[in-house]
Structures are given as C-alpha cells and as structure tokens.
Structure 1
Amino acid sequence: MTTLPVVIPPQVLRPVVYRALTKKYGLAIKLDGLQELAKYIGSSYGAQWKDEINPFLDTFAAQWRNDTCRGIFVDGVHVRQVLAELLEEVIVQSRSQDGILENHQDLPVEDVWQCINTIQQRRVPYNHWKKQFDSPANTSPPALKQDMFSTRYYITRDRSLRNAASLGAPFEFTEIKNFMGKDSQNFVVLGLLIMNNKGKWALEDPSGSIEIDISQCVPTPLSYYMPGCIVIAEGIYFTVGQTFHVTSMTHPPGEKRVDSQLALGNLDLVRATHLDKQRLIVLHEKEIELDENEIILLGGESMFLDQQNVHDALRKLFAKLEELPPYAIICFGSFFSKPVIPTSSNAIPSTTLYRKGFESLAVILEEFPELVSSTKFVFVPGNNDPWKSMSTLGMDGVLPMAPLPSLVTHKLERVLKQDIVWATNPCRIMYYSQEIFLVRDDLQQRLKVHDVSFPAIASSKDPHSGEEEGQYIDQLVKNPDQLPRELEQARKLVKTVLDQGHISPFVESIRPVDWEQDHTLMLFPAPTTLILCDTTAPKLNLTYNGCKAINPGSLIVNRKLKYSRYFPSTRNCIEEEVLF
C-alpha cells in the first residue's frame, strides 16, 4: 500500500510527544526537536501516523537513553542523530535476514532495471495549500489544461521559498492581484513570462497577469529567457499605464534531488509510491559494487537504418562490443533519413522501407550472440519516426511521443527476445537507486530562436554605442577566466532546463504538450542523470545541482561513429569513436 507523506504541524504533535516522552520517560522536548520529529513522522507514516506514533516514540526514547551524554533536553541536532542511528539498525537487520539482498540477482526486476514510459506514469496532483502531493486521482482533460501552469507555478514557488529559507533570508512573492493601487512601489514577483494579446511582454500568475516593461531590465546571465518560462522579476509598479517596470530578472533557483525528496517526504513521483530509505541505501551499495556495468549511448539524427554506411558503422561497433558486452544500449532516433509519410505514387512505401531498416538491424545483431544475450536495448523515437511523422512531416510535434509501432518491431523482437524496450520520448529508466531521464529533442536551437532580447543588454554589446575603438577591441580579447564557448552554451542549456523543472518550458504555440501527460515532462525532483540527445547543442558531460547531464550528440560524423559510455556506479561518461 502506498504511503503518501503529510505535513504535521508541530503544535499538533506536541501533546502526543509530551505524553510519550515527557510523562513516560522524563524527556523535555525543544521546539527544534519537535519540528524534526514532526517532519520525520509525517514523511514516514503519512496520514496513519496516529496509529504508529506510540511504538515509534518508545523506540526513539530507548535509543535516546542509550547515550547518557544526551541529557534530558531533546533538541534538533540530537533528534537527527538518533534517527540516523535507528536507520542504521534497520539496515543491519535487513542485511542479516536470510541474505535476501546479498545477491543483486535476488532483487525484484523493477529495482534493478525498469524503463517507465510516459503512459505508465500516474499523475499525482499537487496541493499548494498543504505544500505536498495528494493521492493520485482522475481529472478531466479540461481541468488538466488549467492545472498545467498552476502545478508548475506552485511547485516552483515552494521550491524557491525553501531555497530562500535555507539561506537565512526568507521572503514572500507578491501576487499580481495585489499590485492594484500601489503606485511607485517595489515588488518581487514569480510569474510566467508570456506575450499578451497586445504584443507586449507580460507576467502571469494564478491571481492574474500584468504588462511589463523590460527596457531597463538586466537579467541574470547564463540562462535562456523564453515565452513559457517561470521567472523571478523585481521592479517598480506604476499605476499610470498599469505597467510593471522590471529592473532585474532571474530563473528560480535549482534544488538538489535529495533536498526535493526530503521536502516531499521521500515520495517517488514516477511510480507514485513512498521511497523506502533503507532499501534505497542497499540498492545504492549494490549499484556501486557493479562498477563494470556500462550503458552505451548512440546519438540521434544520423542513425538512419535506411543507409548502408550506418549498417557498416553499427556492425563495426557491435563487433567491438561483442568482446565485453555492455549492460544496455540506448538508441536515439530518428531511425529514418526522411519523415515516414503516406505516399500515393508507385514508389515503395516509406513504411516498407522503414520496416526493412529494422529487419536489417536484426540481421546484423544475429552475428553477435554474446551481445544479444547479455545486453538490453532501448529505442527512443525521433521526429521522422512513425506515427507522429505522418502529421508533423518531420517537424517538432506534441510531446511526449509514442513508442515505435509494432509494424516494424517483430523481427527485432524475435532476435532480442525480452531484452528490448520500445520507449516513449521522453521516458525514464530506474536503475537500482538512480533515475535516468531520456529525451530526444533539439532543445538548444529552440531556446536560441525564442530567447528574449533585452534592450539594456543589447545596447551594452553594441560596438557603435559611443565607446572608443580601443576599448571595443579590448572586449574582443578573451579573458583567461572565460569558459570555452561550447562549455558555456552547454551549462546555459542545462541550467535553464533544470531550474525550470520541466523538459519543455515553452508556451504551447512554440512546443505543444499533451495535457494529460504534462506531468511526465517534469524534472522535479531532478533526475539522477539527464540524458538529452540534442544534435543542435554541443556535447554535454557536466553536473549541475547533483544532476549528471549528458548529450551524446550525433552518431556519425564523416567516417566516424561516435558514442558515449556511461558508468552508473561512478556516474562517469567517456566519449569514444569507431572508424569505418
């Protein structure tokens, strides 16, 4: 049964703790200690905490009294220490029970490797009043469209407020509806950046929208600003013209995965279950032990199975991998050089050519029995793949994208048997304690095209703005501390996506999204690893806020097949190539 976390106010828990710890064991609870207990009990026992709390407090008190140096005052520091000791005891006990976790082969299959498509992810609604997720429920499609923005907004708002509180500078955002009548006052707003029906920039939150003036705005660098992103803006509101004059703008601060999970009460949003801390620790230990496991990433846009040079390159690669087969191979589309569309001519239908491409891949794989028997294969579709290409003609369509149709999969399934996954785009892989997010999308190009041009920044970069010629030439000289351009672009891309907490932070006119599956595009909590196959972006291999970001790029460049080797145990990624 799924245990959803709840938020227990300390004042509600105080009478129960007083009876159990003070009257029974003579311990005096402090406010910070009570807050730590409330946080732990709410996340561990959920709505049924009243039925479970007395045995837990007895165990807690016994563990507290094991160390006489702690005294009788229960404070926050020592509460965390006791909870850590209790957790360690549970782990030791779990290891000694029948040796059930001594061999990773005894673990359930879903703990070792599980590919979760978007259609398998349940939607867990977010309650912004309680600042927690509720039980999964069925919601009508019109309501889902309305919830798309509000869910993103409230999750981002609460995440930003947690970040401010952790820095010791708590504050509140001003709702747009509260601007009315407050002339010449300074405000900090969290809102959705959009273009209104007058063609003017505006900010929108659940309470309303307001036109903004960005002529004097200086945004935080190393981020993209585009219609559909949620931003924090500071400025002055003037009742004349009812315009908010923005002086500075930035993205909401990112949050590490472990901090998000702690705030959610260790709720697994992908599988809509409660995370078992003890089991996660054991899975992580097993994951580290299997340091020889590797995942091969084959980039997109040039893995065209209708071209002979791709077959030659793959045969060369598979021959190399046959000596020491990897744990998995992830292939990103498109798998056809042209969009698969219906034809009315006498030429061979593109669907037939598409199917033959996969049949040729099956013939190649039959030459490598060790690879076939030991390796899992995952295929993530691209824009040219059916059936989405029938309507989009190879252009960007609605996210997420459905798996490849069964029309083309029969022969390859016979060769690979059970070790094949026809994934959606995007999808998630649960590997022991890790969550790996896979997506094939040319995101960088879209971000660049729709990036907002701020007049204050543009004028400062204008070489004809009245500066002396010598000063401008000095600006062209590279600063020794300046990052390489490709690395700077890579960081900008990753920071924008992870700070937004969404893989497609655009308005629907730029990148439409299926209302019923928008929750599957969320990057909250941040995944352990983000594998973004983007052929318009430089290759990625960096870490931001604890999230490993990788871009394998294009598969074939000239006569070289380029691929990436990802080692989950160490989270290292190595780029290699094969000449053919």
Structure 2
Amino acid sequence: MEKRTALPISLQPSNLRPIAYRILSKKHGLNIQTDALQVLTETVGSKFGSEWKGSESLQFLEDIAKVWKIQDRGLFVDGTGLKAVIKELTYKDGGSVSFKATRQDTLVDDPVNVEIGFDELKWNDFFRFINPDKQPNYFFDHQRKQFSLIPTPSSKLTFQTKNAVSYFNRRYHLIRDRLSRNSSFQKPSFSSISSIQKSVSNQINELTLIKNVLGRDGSKFLLFGLLSQDAEGNYILEDSSDYIILNLKQAYKSSDCFYCLGMFVIVEGIYSATTNVSTNSNVISGCFYVNYLGHPPAERREVSLEAYGNLDFMGINRDIEDTHISSSHIFRINKNLRKKLLSMEKENVEHKLLILGSDCFLDNAKFMEGLKKLLSKIEDSIIENSDNAPLALVLMGSFTSRPLTPTDSSTATISNSEDYKNGFDNLASILSKFKNIVSRTKIVLIPGPHDPWQALYTLGSSNLNIFPQFSIPKIFLNRLEKLLPKGNLIIGWNPIRVNYLTQEIVIFKDNLYEKLKRNDIVFESDIQREVEKVEKEKEKERISHGKISLDDIDTNQPHVSYKTRQARKMVKALLDQGTLQPFLSNLKIINTACDYALRMEPLPSVVILSDSSFPNVSVTYNGCKVINITKAMGSSRKITYAEYFTSTRQIDFSDLYF
C-alpha cells in the first residue's frame, strides 16, 4: 500500500514549541533557538500537515536530535545548522522521512555523498599514504569522553607551547579512559553480599586517585599514573590529582614487558603515612610500598573504534576540496562501507607492499648493486604476471652512510649536498630501466637520522632526532619526481601511515629495542630472580653431575626463543602505552604539535617497525600485527626485505643474495 501524502498546513512556532521542548530539550539536552524553531515549524507543517502531532512527526524530531548529537554540533540548535540536518535527513528518499540517510550511516559529512553506491567504489580511492601534516588532529576531551577535531592553528608557536605543557596529561586521560572500559577495573554493577565482602577485603581492582589515599594508612590500593623521578632521585607516580613517592624494594613486575621512565603503569601496594623520604612539603606525605607493577592492558582496535563512534582517524573520507565543510567538523565511517571495503580486501589477494630494511645507503655501491638485482627480480615477476606488481616499494633511511652535516667550508657543504643528491639521481637512473615498476608501483621514501634537515643539528645522532621527522626536501628528489608518474613518489615523514581499505598501517624507523632495553628499570626482585635461577641451574647440574636426562626436560612448557620473548616485550610496551615513543623528553624529543602522529589509540591494524638493532620478527598482540625489519644489507652480500600481503595480513621475510 502506498504511503499517504499529507497536505501542508501553516503552523505557528508556539504550536510546536511544547513538543520540541519535550523531545529536543528535555530528552536530548539541546537548546533550540528562535530561528531554529521557526525552521522546524515550517518543515513539520509542510511535511506532516494535520498529522504534525503524529508518531512520524515525533520520530522526525527524534532523528534530528540524534543526528545533531552524532555530528557534535553543540548544545544550541541554530537555524543554519538545522537546515543542513533536515536536508540530510530528507535527501536520499526525495523528501521522505527516514533515518537511514543520517550521519551515522553516511560516508562523509557532505549529504551529497549519500548517493554514492557501494558498487561504484574503487579500492585505490581508499589506498593512501598519509603524512602527519595531512592526518586529522583528534584531541581527546576527557570531560566529554570524546574526541574533538582540532583545526589548523593560526599561531603555531602558541599551539605548540600549549601542547608541550599538556602532552603527558593527554596520554594519561586517554589511557585512563581505556581502562574505564576494561572489565578488570570496573566496579560491580550491583550490590550483593559477596560483592560487599569483596570490597571490605579490598580485593576489587578499582583504580584510586592518589589524593584519595590520604588518611588511609595501611590500606591497600591500586594506583595508575606516570612513572618518573623527582629532583632527589626518588621514583614517583603522578596522576591528575597529585603524585606520591614509590618504594620499589619489594616490588615485582611482570617479566613480559619493559618498564621505563615516562611510561604509565598500574601499581598495587600499601600506603604508609608514617614513612616520609622526601623533604618536599608539596608532595603527599608518606610512601607507597609497591607489591606489583604492570602495564595498562591494550584494547582491541574494533572495541576502541566502537567506543569512539567509528571516527575517521585517518581522514580518508575527508573531502579536502570541499570548502563549505568546517575544518573542525568530525567525520565518521559508515559500518556498511567498512563491510564492503573488507570484502574488497579479501578479493584482492594479489595486493602487497614490499618493504626494504633500514639504512638504504644510496652512496654504497654494494647496496646499489643489490637493489638493482631486487628491482630486476620484481620487474621479471611483473612481466610474467602483471598482478605481481607490488602496490608500493618502501625504502627506509638513512639514505647516506654519512650524516649530511654543515662544515666550516661552504665549498665542502655544497659538496656534501651534491653527494647526497647524487644518491637519489643514481636511484632514478636505476629505476628508469624498469618501466613496469615505474608505472605500476609507488616509491616511498622514509627518512632516517642521517637525512636532512635534522642531520644538520643532530649530526646523525638518533637521540637528538625529533619525532615526527619531516620528509626529505624535494630539492634532492627532482629527477625522481620527473621519472615517476604523478602520485607514485611518496615523500614520507617518519612515521607515516597507510590507509588500505579498512586497514591502518603505521611505518616507523627507529632503534626502539636498544632504547627500551637500555632504559629498562632493574628492580631488586629482578636481581634476586636471576640469582635464584642461576642457583637452581647449579643445583640441577650438581645432582646430575653434569648429565641431563630426558626426565629433567620440562616438555609441558612450550619453547619460546629469546628473540621472540624480547620482541613480545617490545611490542607489549609500545601497544600498552599507546604511543611509538613512551619515554620522557630527556630520552626522546617530541614535536608535540604533531604528537598525534605517534599515537596508537585505537590500535593500528599493522605496525611496521624498522629497527636495525633487532632481527626480523612478526608478533601479534590484541589483534595488532607488529613487524620488525632489520637492516637492508649487513656485512654479507644480501638484501633483506619483506612482503606484506594485505588480503591475508601475512608477512614474508626474504633475503636476496647477489
């Protein structure tokens, strides 16, 4: 039966005001302004006529309120914004009232995109390399428990100063919000005798603010905060309320992770008001005796995305050319679109990324010889089957064995710059011989510590390198730009992100393992544990007189190699902390104006690390696959690279001898 069309009537704002107040204000907490009420009155009168009090009209007001809140338009409903919402609600069905065309199911904020059919989608529209300057800067508002999009600031200096001050605060509130969704740290939803007895015995894993331990001497608490040291060298834990001195002499930590200053940790222990090791009168008196110390557990990507309303953190659906959309407007991803993209991922089984190891020294003749052989192998495979062409060939810096540094002589400085440019000219010369690679594969360049312009003041030291690191200046790459088709040369930052359909891939070059291991805090319990382990081995050897029988081997415990154990420790530290640089500023300098580029919250689909201090490894933790690729070329004549297959999310490590 066809739907009946109501004749329009002329309504007065005073007629609709009680209904609008009941639904928009009382139920949804919105304040409708006079001009918006006038727009709403005209719309309802023309759409529903004499049925303006009916269920469809009331549902229409409900839909308006939902869309307004989903779009995060604020508490005050104005006429201009209301017109846009009404237009979006009625666009798809030619004026019929339906919530299917609302913000939660559209591709982007522009209502015109509602018409886009999923059958018209092309996979390459959702395959992009995104540098930090093009990545949306989402700021977590801990009071609203939501992300807000920060527009480009008018004054970068003021913006950076403000970010530097609140850098650790933002990390704290984001991890704290993650823990609030973890069932292990939630209060019981109802009271019962058992739950009351449990709370009396202080066994609930409820996080307590540091300021709330005052006056509760001898009580057991679970605290969460930033691990650091005060001016007197005491370990302290700091949260949003205060900080307290920690006694770690009897503390045990989980052996599956690194613990460094600058990390956020969960500590369990007992507060003592009588012990006061600090002379600072501003700090909470007493001391917190830590029994156990652990990391805040990471959260699976899909859980975080759902909690934050499926925000488009990568900006892949953002139409930059659409000038009528505000720069602070939030974009969300359609769930049906995500399903379609996931289906396209499974279909394109031949798609892959090819990543070389770090330190692709273009001034090294041996490396260039190996690179030429690798390119020849790729070219031959493309000729054999065009589907074998990799989507991208990622080259990791540094691209020179010597840092590009200033010298006392201007002539020498020019010579250094020319040598550096010659390396990329030689790369362009080699690539020109492989037509299929040039036409079908993107070439991605990611800088290292020896590359400009940072090398001019860091002198190649990775400790002085600022992250995110800017891309290599185009002045050195003009021959590559002329050779490659438009869009096939990606001059990346470090780190850089890749959006491939539903996957978020982070590529990052840094020697993280050495940094984590060197700054890992060694507790007295760690030393005691090692001593007991050595004594146990000696006792076994003494009893067996140096002979080991099959009965002495514990076959129930799976054997895990040292490399895998260390890789798991590194991966857990990074993902639990939700950042690529979980250190204090004295260990690593962060450009806080772009610190969102280092954030891993929600977790990426894949993290590709290029750590020359650690061997090739692949570890999956909480659904996030973390891959490390070592040096591109060691002492032997072989090129190390990896192929990441996007359809199956599998990684293949390979060595090519030449």
Of the structure 1 ranges 479-488 and 321-330, higher mean CA displacement relative to structure 2 is found in: 479-488
Q: Say which of 198, 204, 207 aligns to 2:238.
A: 204
The answer to whether the Cα contact below 8 Å between 1:332 and 1:380 also exists between their aligned partners in 2 is yes
Match of residue 179 from structure 1: 213
Q: Say which of 119, 124, 128 aligns to 1:102.
A: 119
Give the counterpart letter for 2:337 in structure 1: R
Report deviation, 1:385. 0.7
TM-score by length of 2: 0.73
Match of residue 319 from structure 1: 376
Q: Secondary structure at the match of 2:232?
A: coil
Q: Distance in 1 between matches of 2:250 and 2:166?
A: 33
Q: Distance in 2 between matches of 1:474 and 1:551?
A: 42
Report deviation, 1:46. 4.4
Of the structure 1 ranges 479-488 and 448-457, higher mean CA displacement relative to structure 2 is found in: 479-488
Match of residue 20 from structure 1: none
Q: Secondary structure at the match of 2:182?
A: helix
The answer to whether the Cα contact below 8 Å between 2:578 and 2:600 also exists between their aligned partners in 1 is yes
The answer to whether the Cα contact below 8 Å between 1:489 and 1:538 also exists between their aligned partners in 2 is no
Report deviation, 1:166. 9.0
The answer to whether the Cα contact below 8 Å between 1:186 and 1:234 also exists between their aligned partners in 2 is yes
Once the two structures are superposed, residues 280-328 of structure 1 have per-residue CA deviations (whole angstroms, 9 ceiling, x without a partner) of: 2222222221111111010102x10001111110110001101322111
Q: Say which of 400, 405, 409 aligns to 1:336.
A: 400
Q: Distance in 2 between matches of 1:247 and 1:162?
A: 25
Task: Say if 1:100 and 1:123 are closer, same or farther in 2 by CA, change over 3 A.
Answer: closer
Report deviation, 1:217. 0.7
Match of residue 478 from structure 2: 410
**Which of these two proteins has the greater Rg computed from alpha carbons?**
2
Q: Distance in 1 between matches of 2:537 and 2:427?
A: 62
The answer to whether the Cα contact below 8 Å between 1:174 and 1:188 also exists between their aligned partners in 2 is yes
Report deviation, 1:218. 0.8
Of the structure 1 ranges 534-543 and 149-158, higher mean CA displacement relative to structure 2 is found in: 534-543
Report deviation, 1:125. 2.1
Match of residue 78 from structure 1: none
The answer to whether the Cα contact below 8 Å between 1:189 and 1:232 also exists between their aligned partners in 2 is yes
Q: Distance in 2 between matches of 1:407 and 1:142?
A: 30
Give the counterpart letter for 2:132 in structure 1: T
Report deviation, 1:14. 12
Q: Say which of 100, 103, 125 aligns to 2:139.
A: 125
Q: Distance in 1 between matches of 2:105 and 2:115?
A: 18
Q: Distance in 1 between matches of 2:183 and 2:29?
A: 27
The answer to whether the Cα contact below 8 Å between 1:104 and 1:286 also exists between their aligned partners in 2 is no
The answer to whether the Cα contact below 8 Å between 1:529 and 1:547 also exists between their aligned partners in 2 is yes
Q: Distance in 2 between matches of 1:494 and 1:455?
A: 24
The answer to whether the Cα contact below 8 Å between 2:495 and 2:507 also exists between their aligned partners in 1 is yes
Structure 1: 5+ residue runs without aligned partners?
1-7, 16-22, 26-36, 57-82, 91-96
| RMSD of Structure 2 on Structure 1 (CA) | 3.8
Task: Say if 1:409 and 1:173 are closer, same or farther in 2 by CA, change over 3 A.
Answer: same
Q: Secondary structure at the match of 1:562?
A: strand
Q: Does 1:280 align with 2:314?
A: no
Of the structure 1 ranges 345-354 and 303-312, higher mean CA displacement relative to structure 2 is found in: 345-354
Once the two structures are superposed, residues 401-459 of structure 1 have per-residue CA deviations (whole angstroms, 9 ceiling, x without a partner) of: 00001221101111113201111001111111111111001000000000010111211
Of the structure 1 ranges 478-487 and 433-442, higher mean CA displacement relative to structure 2 is found in: 478-487
Q: Distance in 2 between matches of 1:185 and 1:167?
A: 19
Match of residue 289 from structure 2: 245
Report deviation, 1:356. 0.5
Task: Say if 1:12 and 1:253 are closer, same or farther in 2 by CA, change over 3 A.
Answer: farther
Q: Secondary structure at the match of 1:541?
A: strand
1:398-547 paired onto structure 2 within 5 Å: 398-418=466-486, 419-462=488-531, 469-471=538-540, 480=555, 481-547=558-624
Give the counterpart letter for 1:549 in structure 2: V
Match of residue 566 from structure 1: 644
Q: Secondary structure at the match of 2:602?
A: coil
Task: Say if 1:546 and 1:467 are closer, same or farther in 2 by CA, change over 3 A.
Answer: closer
Q: Secondary structure at the match of 1:198?
A: coil
Q: Secondary structure at the match of 1:490?
A: helix
Q: Distance in 2 between matches of 1:574 and 1:561?
A: 14
Task: Say if 1:533 and 1:465 are closer, same or farther in 2 by CA, change over 3 A.
Answer: closer
The count of aligned residue pairs is 526
Structure 2: 5+ residue runs without aligned partners?
1-22, 31-53, 57-62, 90-99, 108-113, 190-204, 277-285, 316-329, 383-388
Q: Distance in 2 between matches of 1:571 and 1:265?
A: 25
Query: Percent same amino acid among aligned pairs?
Result: 32
Give the counterpart letter for 2:335 in structure 1: K
Once the two structures are superposed, residues 77-135 of structure 1 have per-residue CA deviations (whole angstroms, 9 ceiling, x without a partner) of: xxxxxx9xxx9999xxxxxx999543654x6x6x4221111122232221112211124
Match of residue 194 from structure 1: 228
The answer to whether the Cα contact below 8 Å between 1:191 and 1:205 also exists between their aligned partners in 2 is yes
Q: Distance in 1 between matches of 2:446 and 2:138?
A: 25
1:229-268 paired onto structure 2 within 5 Å: 229-240=263-274, 241=276, 242-268=286-312
Give the counterpart letter for 1:559 in structure 2: R
Report deviation, 1:387. 0.8
Q: Distance in 2 between matches of 1:236 and 1:181?
A: 13
The answer to whether the Cα contact below 8 Å between 2:185 and 2:206 also exists between their aligned partners in 1 is no
Report deviation, 1:478. 7.3
Once the two structures are superposed, residues 502-522 of structure 1 have per-residue CA deviations (whole angstroms, 9 ceiling, x without a partner) of: 000000000110121112110
Give the counterpart letter for 1:249 in structure 2: L
Of the structure 1 ranges 372-381 and 134-143, higher mean CA displacement relative to structure 2 is found in: 134-143
Give the counterpart letter for 1:269 in structure 2: F
Q: Does 1:308 align with 2:365?
A: yes
Q: Secondary structure at the match of 2:217?
A: coil
Match of residue 459 from structure 2: 393
Of the structure 1 ranges 292-301 and 117-126, higher mean CA displacement relative to structure 2 is found in: 117-126
Give the counterpart letter for 1:365 in structure 2: L
Q: Say which of 157, 169, 174 aligns to 1:155.
A: 174
The answer to whether the Cα contact below 8 Å between 1:179 and 1:237 also exists between their aligned partners in 2 is yes
The answer to whether the Cα contact below 8 Å between 1:306 and 1:357 also exists between their aligned partners in 2 is yes
The answer to whether the Cα contact below 8 Å between 1:43 and 1:264 also exists between their aligned partners in 2 is no
Task: Say if 1:175 and 1:336 are closer, same or farther in 2 by CA, change over 3 A.
Answer: same
Q: Secondary structure at the match of 2:393?
A: strand
Q: Distance in 2 between matches of 1:561 and 1:225?
A: 34
The answer to whether the Cα contact below 8 Å between 1:268 and 1:274 also exists between their aligned partners in 2 is yes
The answer to whether the Cα contact below 8 Å between 1:193 and 1:201 also exists between their aligned partners in 2 is yes
Q: Say which of 620, 627, 633 aligns to 1:550.
A: 627
Give the counterpart letter for 1:253 in structure 2: P
Report deviation, 1:48. 7.8
Q: Say which of 116, 132, 143 aligns to 2:130.
A: 116
Q: Distance in 2 between matches of 1:440 and 1:415?
A: 26
TM-score by length of 1: 0.82
Match of residue 161 from structure 2: 142
Q: Secondary structure at the match of 2:207?
A: coil
Q: Distance in 2 between matches of 1:355 and 1:544?
A: 40
Task: Say if 1:209 and 1:498 are closer, same or farther in 2 by CA, change over 3 A.
Answer: same
Give the counterpart letter for 1:384 in structure 2: H
